[in-house]
Amino acid sequence: MNANSLPAGNARRFLAGFLVFCALAFGAATGALAAEPQRNTPVRIGLTPAFLHDQHGLMEEWRRYLEAKLKRPVVFLQRDSYRETMDLLRLEKLDFAWICDYPFVHLKKQVKLLAVPLYQGRPYYRSYFIVPASNPHTTSILQLKNMVFAYADPYSNTGYLAPRYELFKAGEDPARFFGKTFFTWSHRKVVEAVAFGLANGGAVDSYVWDTLAVVQPDLTAKTRIVSRSPEYGFPPFVAHRSVGDDEFRVFQKVLIGMTTDPAGKALLKRLNLDGFATNDPKLYDSVAQMMRAFGEE
Amino acid sequence: MNRLFDLSFRFKLPLWGSFLIVATALAVSGALMLRAYDDLKEDLLISSKSLGRTLSKSLFRAMLHDDVWRAFELVQAPFHGEAGDNPVQPDGIIVLDRSYRIVVSSRPTVMPMLADFRRFGPEQAALADAIEALQGRDAHTVELPDAGHLYVVVPIADEAALLGALVISHSKSAFVPRFWRTAQSGALIGLLVLAVLLPANWYWGRRMAAPLVKLADHLDGLGQGLPEDLDPGLYAYRDELGRLFQSYRRMVQELREKAQLERRVVQTERLAAVGRLAAGIAHEINNPLGGMLTAIDTLKCHADADPLTLKTIDLIERGLVQVKETVAALLVEARLKSRDLAKQDIEDVRTLVAPASHRKRLKTAWCNDLPDSLPLPATLVRQIFINLLLNAIQAANEDGDVGCLIEFDANELAITVTNDGRLLTTEQMEHLFEPFSPLSESGHGLGLWVTYQIVHQLGGRISAKVKENLMVFEVRLPVGAEA
């Protein structure tokens, strides 16, 4: 028997075997690479209008700070609606994200709670019901029947869910109560819409309004806070469930450790926050309760 | 009004020119300002329409998705960071739906969402009607009568789907300040032009009027006698004014000649009358005088008179002879028969007067251009010549000059005698040829009178004039004519 007389079937089997070997060897090699912590793959962090994400200079400084701390490239992906950031998380295009508490409850199955910012020392915020400063009469959202109302985002708690829940509790149908409602896709723009008189009223994140009152006081001066909602858990930093424990802990540590070095402190001061802390997802149970009232969840 | 037209050209010309310049400047700058206003308005509308078209495309999507905030941001966009006095800047942008309710406006406090646009006032209601009439056609300007705004209306539509209308309003008063700035710079340039043209016009007008005024003044003076000559340098051009000046000069010249002629005629007539009188008297005296002289002569020959009587008779005779000589001098008798004048006659006279000339050491210029013989009475011409020469020698200064020129052309003999002595005044020349001339310092003052009489009887002319500081006497005698 010599090679030349090898039957065709045998030759095919040999070739197939060789290819399988090659494929296995390549797969093992790539698998081994994937197991290593990847120093050069960037950390993808989603940012939403849960805070003043359009302070671009501040964002760039914060990104560089995180890069230095993580010793890895950091990419910020900013989207103007919660929906888009939620989609990016579902599609695993993000490792971490700073989202609103309402989307967090929505995405509970896909994300883990990483850290909760501390605002005025505590992990809570509220919804402010605001009207133009030129209107001194309104004392309750219920007085705005058939008027124009500005919501922030359909996945915002303080800018959508909370005011609707208040109407719901008062026995009104939030879908028909106002003459016209619209979304501005950001809390800052809710303040603008009310300040310009485009809307007769609006619901806004207390953290955003308070921060604006510091960085842009002439804008908030054109609005008046009529009522403040109960406290809700502050919009959290979340990690996608696919993020490894090591990576999770490293980033958690970096965030929480921002209070311990001057650069981190300076950034926190400009973000108008006191720091980050771990917390229990139970913090957001009140949001889940409101969602249940509207038949969501 | 008439008093304005009665003004002197000195004022009327510059005033009229100034009026024209100012009127032209006003008309031109007015037209330019009107043009600037139109351009400004056109620019505004073009820019506004382009803005409207751009906005309407984006607004279509925003309205389709009921994205109120996006629509608001779009209508707000043109108001960010604009200069306050930009005239192209709209003062309001409104988005209306098809039932003319406000979808969004750039000033939500004034024009809130959902409000019925027609309710804001008659201007808005009329605008809604105008938009209705446009039926979704492309960007259009709507200018309502008595409205303080210009509106540009752009449909918010895609193909057949019409969602509403975009209204961009511009306050008409917004471009008034810019218009005034244009007008001010225009006025400034106008003033500069006037500052140059008005003095130039004033100068030109005065210059133009000056010769006219002078001419008028001179013509006014015509009534009071002969006017002076005008300075020829005053107006040296050949236009109508120049011709007027020429005519004036010609007229003055003619007037002067006429006056001279008249004076000469008067003088001639006076001399003729004096001549006739003198001749008449001379004849009347001559007749008895002849008798008396004969009687005296007879008395002297035949009477044995005592010495006293003889002495008296002599005295009477001498007196009578003097009377006779005087009368004879007065009575110029030209009709004496005489031989023709020869060239030698002139030379004889020269020889005759030479001693007198030597006494005063005069330089004599002599020019005798006479042919050998001329049909003129020699005696009379010699007498004329002697008289003139002796007069000249007598009048000439010591060591002075006397000139003598004898010329003959085809039919005239001209004798010109000059001297450098005292010049005669016009007044003296008027009475130069009268008998018993007061100018005569020696003799009886009949020399020139006799000369004049002879020249006239020969049909010639005699004249005295001053030329180049010389006293010139000129005699012209016709040759061959029947004297």
Question: B108 contacts in A (CB within 8 Å)?
Answer: 196-198
Predicted local distance difference test score (pLDDT) of residue B105: 92
Q: To which residue do tokens 């057949």 refer? A: B160
Residue A1 has pLDDT above 50, yes or no: no
* CATH number belonging to the domain at B340-478, selected among 1.10.1740.10, 3.30.565.10, 3.40.50.11720, 3.30.360.10: 3.30.565.10
Amino acid identity, position A25: A
Residue A202 has pLDDT above 90, yes or no: yes
Rg (CA), chain B: 55
For an interface test with B, the pick among A156, A184, A185, A198 (most B C-beta atoms closer than 10 Å) comes out as A198
Residue A30 has pLDDT above 70, yes or no: no
Predicted local distance difference test score (pLDDT) of residue A16: 54
Residue A111 has pLDDT above 70, yes or no: yes
Predicted local distance difference test score (pLDDT) of residue A243: 92
Question: B72 contacts in A (CB within 8 Å)?
Answer: 193, 196, 198
User: What is the band of B144 on the pLDDT scale with cuts at 50, 70, 90?
Assistant: confident
Higher pLDDT, B349 or A64: A64
Supply B32's token pair. 């330019």
Predicted local distance difference test score (pLDDT) of residue B323: 85
Tell me the domain boundaries of chain B: 2-179, 241-330, 340-478
Q: To which residue do tokens 């006056």 refer? A: B259
pLDDT per position as a tens digit, A11-24: 555 555 555 554 55
Is ipTM beyond 0.90?
Answer: no
Q: To which residue do tokens 């909760």 refer? A: A116
Residue B308 has pLDDT above 60, yes or no: yes
- Residue B113 and residue A87: Cα distance in Å, rounded? 33
Residue A35 has pLDDT above 90, yes or no: no
pLDDT per position as a tens digit, A228-275: 999 999 999 999 999 999 999 999 999 999 999 999 999 999 889 999
Supply B445's token pair. 């003052």
| Straight-line distance from the first to the last Cα atom of chain A, in angstroms, rounded to the nearest whole number | 72
Residue B444 has pLDDT above 70, yes or no: no
Taking an 8 Å cut-off on Cβ atoms, the answer to whether A197 and B66 are in contact is no
Tell me the domain boundaries of chain A: 43-122+235-282, 127-229
Q: To which residue do tokens 């009026």 refer? A: B19
Are A282 and A289 in contact, with CB atoms under 8 Å apart? no
Q: Does A182 touch chain B (CB under 8 A)?
A: yes
B151 CA to centre of own chain:
65
Domain spanning B2-179, CATH class: alpha beta
Rg (CA), chain A: 25
Are B239 and B209 in contact, with CB atoms under 8 Å apart? no
- Residue A209 and residue A215: Cα distance in Å, rounded? 10
pLDDT per position as a tens digit, B44-101: 889 889 999 999 989 999 999 889 999 999 998 888 765 555 666 788 899 999 889 9
Q: Could you tell me which residues come within 8 angstroms of residue A42 by beta carbon, excluding any fewer than 6 positions away?
A: A72, A73, A74, A75
Of B67, B72, B114, which has the smallest distance from its Cβ to A180's Cβ?
B114
Residue A5 has pLDDT above 90, yes or no: no
- Residue B123 and residue B144: Cα distance in Å, rounded? 8
* Mean predicted confidence (pLDDT) in B369-396: 85
Residue B454 has pLDDT above 80, yes or no: yes
Q: Does A134 touch chain B (CB under 8 A)?
A: yes
- Residue B413 and residue B368: Cα distance in Å, rounded? 11
SS (H, E, C) B271-325: HHHHHHHHHHHHHHHHHHHHHHHHHHHHHHHHCCCCHHHHHHHHHHHHHHHHHHH
Question: According to DSSP H, which parts of B221-235 are helical?
Answer: none
User: What is the band of A112 on the pLDDT scale with cuts at 50, 70, 90?
Assistant: very high
Predicted local distance difference test score (pLDDT) of residue A13: 57
Are A279 and A237 in contact, with CB atoms under 8 Å apart? no
Predicted local distance difference test score (pLDDT) of residue A36: 46
Which of A83, A75, A66, A88 lies closest to A42, judged by CA?
A75
Q: Could you tell me which residues come within 8 angstroms of residue A66 by beta carbon, excluding any fewer than 6 positions away?
A: A43, A45, A74, A254
Higher pLDDT, A177 or B381: A177
Give the H or E element holding residue A269: helix A262-271
- Residue B21 and residue B196: Cα distance in Å, rounded? 11
Instruction: Specify the length of chain B in residues.
Output: 483
User: What is the band of B428 on the pLDDT scale with cuts at 50, 70, 90?
Assistant: confident
| CATH H superfamily, domain A43-122+235-282 | Periplasmic binding protein-like II (3.40.190.10)
Residue B443 has pLDDT above 70, yes or no: no
Taking an 8 Å cut-off on Cβ atoms, the answer to whether B108 and A150 are in contact is no
The CATH architecture that domain A127-229 belongs to is 3-Layer(aba) Sandwich (3.40)
Q: Does A185 touch chain B (CB under 8 A)?
A: yes
Of B66, B67, B72, which has the smallest distance from its Cβ to A198's Cβ?
B72
User: What is the band of B446 on the pLDDT scale with cuts at 50, 70, 90?
Assistant: confident
pLDDT per position as a tens digit, B85-116: 566 678 889 999 988 999 999 988 888 988 89
Which of B452, B442, B344 lies closest to B394, judged by CA?
B442
